[in-house]
Structure 1
């Protein structure tokens, strides 16, 4: 994998003063930790449709047509829905090169989930909405990894998001370099252990589809469907149970090379990870040491051992 990963982001999360009150919501994880590896493309949909900063707050309103409308919360509640929809429909068409998107939580334009929806007739408001721009983004690119700033404070969700954008970046680079059946199959083989860590069930469902590649007339059509299934599988956060199964599987490759005390030490370390008393990094580190000492071609290519830049320290607390 080379080059910085192109990722979209709500402009306020990069520190731009574009929020309704003229402030920002700078996300340190993006601006400091991800920045060396990611090329951010910032967008503020509300500024893009011509609204100033500061400006009256916007909100999602469920009106009589049962549709969600984007309206100002004060000064008569002017409706800017059509402007946002028209702009969003066109803008998302130019974003197919992105490998992920970080969205501003609770925003009526950018929120990913649980955006407050107001119902004037009942005076109820429920956290059931999705930002209008985000809705168009999902419809245009259902495979695209999306995450919100607040959720990225969760270590598991943060690791999952970064893993997905790195995998999608590698896949897209392969596609752009010239698609062949052999390179697609090689990609899938490289990701076997990592996908098993995310979902053993979904990985086994994906297997027959990959095996059917020769029956597809269009390799691009196959790649399009594979990308969708790959990202759906990886959206399941890797679990401690699945990681343990993968680690035990890898352990078996060194059974002949290791002494009895070494095998016992490794088995104990994996079990301590399973019990939650050791981080994932501990057994991964010793397995990588054994891989360097006793090379194995298939294991050496597995993305499981280095799914993203080590400098992000994403496995330290797992």
Structure 2
């Protein structure tokens, strides 16, 4: 089972050091094995190193975020070489050029590229908090508030990795939809494909999307933006075992006329075993896909939930 948008050109912004470019302050890199060796087989990376782009050398003195009277500056620890405005201006220059990217992987903890929890030092250097956002990263995320973003370190977590990639492919799918000329009918068809994926992540988001599309009154572009916000916000929540199990039970109902009593009981048991943490997601999911091949259902076959990303990435084995 595959979907056409899997084969589209997908562009992903990324901190240049994460693909092996030696642009860090000490002339090293932080190459991400997952990004380069696995994810990179399905996407095109668009690398940026804002610190090099604004003219800082490699190697270079370290810079950090410093709170000066409530205003965040990026400079050397002693306050010299302040590059805050240069980084911000560069972010504002780059952001409009990234309308076609479908996600961004930032370098964690970087004063320029950190997505969250960047260390912010007091002016005297004796204290710090971890609530900063990289100056460059902030410009990108502000420009594209629904863009799937993640940090390299968090991608080592199987569930966060799967979640990010699923959001990337969904975001790309929506970009293709908009590029084709958004209509009410197209948006309804799109939503019909994402119903069960939404349900698995966030039942309240699933209901909000349904209410939004129930009447479709108003400008379709505005409705589309609202829908994208609901979809991306819901998908950002990690689907729980309960969410998956409830979704699988809904899907099971489509085979009520074809399955024998014993087959229904077996599938139900696999779903309950998964819910209880006794079996991986792939057990009930594989059985449902088997029944879908044996008893084709057009509506189920189009469900993104059953294959939200290329199977070769093997991302659901961690559930």
Shorter-chain TM-score above 0.5: yes
Inter-partner Cα distance in structure 2 for 1:262 and 1:221: 45
Q: CA RMSD in A?
A: 1.2
Moved more, 118-127 or 42-51: 118-127
Please give the residue correspondences for 1:63-74 in structure 2 after superposition, counting only pairs within 5 Å. 63-64=68-69, 66-73=70-77
User: Do the aligned residues in 1 keep the contact of 2:208 with 2:230 (CA within 8 Å)?
Assistant: no
Q: CA deviation at 1:94?
A: 1.1
Residue 50 of structure 1 is matched in structure 2 by 55
In the TM superposition, what are the counterparts of 1:33-48 in structure 2 within 5 Å? 33-48=38-53
Q: Measure how far apart 1:121 and its partner are.
A: 4.2
Q: Report the Cα offset of residue 224 of structure 1.
A: 2.1
Q: If the length of structure 2 is used for normalisation, what is the TM-score?
A: 0.96
| Residues 171-250 of structure 1 mapped to structure 2, 5 A cutoff | 171-213=174-216, 215-216=217-218, 218-250=219-251
Describe how 1:1-318 pairs up with structure 2 within 5 A: 1=5, 2-64=7-69, 66-73=70-77, 77-121=80-124, 123-213=126-216, 215-216=217-218, 218-318=219-319
Q: Give the Å deviation of 1:220.
A: 2.0
Preserved CA contact (<8 Å) 2:113 2:134: yes
Q: Secondary structure, in 3 states, of the residue corresponding to 1:118?
A: strand
Secondary structure class of the residue paired with 1:99: strand
Kept in 1: contact 2:205–2:230 (CA 8 A): no
Deviation at 1:186? Answer: 0.2
- What CA deviation, in whole Å up to 9, does each residue of 1:65-95 have, x standing for no partner? x110010236x62211111111111111111
Alpha-carbon separation, structure 1, partners of 2:128 and 2:29: 25
Instruction: Provide TM-score, normalisation by structure 1.
Output: 0.96
- Give the CA deviation at 1:107: 0.2
Q: Deviations over 1:222-274 (max 9, x none)?
A: 22222122111111111110000011111111122111111111111111111
Shift of 1:103: 0.5
CA distance in 2, matches of 1:136, 1:147: 15
Structure 2 residue ranges without an equivalent (≥5): none
Corresponding pairs, count: 314
CA-to-aligned-CA distance 1:281-304 (integer Å, 9 cap, x gap)? 111111011011111121111111
Stretches of structure 1 that go unaligned for 5 or more consecutive residues are none
Contact 1:197 1:246 in 2 (8 A): yes
CA deviations over 1:178-227 (Å, ceiling 9, x no partner): 222111100001000000000001211221112232x11x3222222221
